Amino acid sequence: MKINCKNCGKRFDHEKHGGTCPKCGTVQTAGQYAPSELSNAYISMSASDTEQPNANLKQEAKASQTKTTPRKKTNPIVTVILLGAMVLTAVIPVLACHFVNQINADKQTMETFPETEVYTLNEPIPTDNTDITLTITEAIIDTNKKLVAPDGYEFLMISYHVEDKTNPEMTYVPYAISSGVKPYLITQDGFYLRPLASYSLRDALELNYEEARELGVSDYFDYPDGVLYFLVKENDTSALRLNYHHTDSSDYDAVQTLERIIEIENLEVRR
């Protein structure tokens, strides 16, 4: 603590100088001071001691504030826009697919089936083209030894003829018939059988493509004079059904609509 020398009045630090005045050399003792002077001395010492730490704390706090990087505030409008864009990116493709599928489903949906048209063997069936007819000419069990049917089954051959009145020497069948008319053999139990695939028949009959074309072997009405093969249970043939479709190719995907149902009833099978 700092005191005033009683001899010369010099103010000095009592503890630092061991109570000896640096000016006149007079030794000072604590008993020489009044209580008020000691109190003032201690107060002065306390103020000087606490002032420096407080200043250090303020400087450290100020330094820490300057070093801390302020946090950027997020704009809520930008956040909402980004979230909305993410949702749209995920939802739009799903909605687009659903929309396209719904359009195709609506095109293929039918409230009622067309009324069945009944024909017999060798009776010409008119088509969309008034000059072209399709005739089922014969139903016969194939006895070709190259085709071996499983026990209890038999191969049924359905022969047909496509005629164009304006072109008697027609060499190809119009697309509306070759692709639009789908044949099914109806069994006595009410099952619908599709013709055997042409490539399987070519292999089984040991025919190349040109030979199969000459014979008119196919699973659709591809030739002016051709034959369809069915594998059916013995004596289980009831009728032949032809589903006549209209193909709409105005869109990218061709959509077929069932326009006519044709049946050759009481199909007489020759053995």
Could you give the CA distance from residue 164 to residue 248 in angstroms, rounded to a whole number? 23
Stronger pLDDT, 40 or 180, i.e. the higher one: 180
Average pLDDT, the chain: 81
Stronger pLDDT, 32 or 238, i.e. the higher one: 238
Architecture of domain 116-264: Sandwich (2.60)
pLDDT at 210: 93
pLDDT at 48: 47
Section 64-92 average pLDDT: 70
pLDDT above 70 for 217: yes
Stronger pLDDT, 55 or 197, i.e. the higher one: 197
CB 262 within 8 A of CB 239: no
CB 192 within 8 A of CB 186: yes
How does pLDDT run across 159-213, given as a tens digit for each residue? 999 999 999 888 889 988 998 999 999 999 999 999 999 999 999 899 999 999 9
Enumerate the domain spans of the chain.
2-67, 78-109, 116-264
pLDDT above 50 for 41: no
pLDDT above 60 for 40: no
Could you give the CA distance from residue 141 to residue 158 in angstroms, rounded to a whole number? 9
> Helix, strand or coil for residue 163?
strand
pLDDT above 80 for 18: no
Question: What is the DSSP secondary structure assignment for residue 115, as one 8-state letter?
Answer: P
Per-residue pLDDT band for 43 (boundaries 50, 70, 90) equals: very low
Could you give the CA distance from residue 61 to residue 59 in angstroms, rounded to a whole number? 5
Distance of CA 170 to CAs 16, 117, 199, Å?
133, 26, 24
Per-residue pLDDT band for 42 (boundaries 50, 70, 90) equals: very low
Stronger pLDDT, 151 or 84, i.e. the higher one: 151
Neighbours of 203 (CB within 10 A): 11
CB 242 within 8 A of CB 263: yes
pLDDT at 136: 97
Q: Which residues of 95-132 are buried (b: 16+ CB within 10 A; e: fewer)?
A: eeeeeeeeeeeeeeeeeeeeeeeebebeeebebeeeeb
CB 127 within 8 A of CB 177: yes
Distance of CA 128 to CAs 35, 112, 180, 181, 224, Å?
132, 21, 11, 11, 17
CB 240 within 8 A of CB 158: yes
Question: What is the DSSP secondary structure assignment for residue 20, as one 8-state letter?
Answer: B
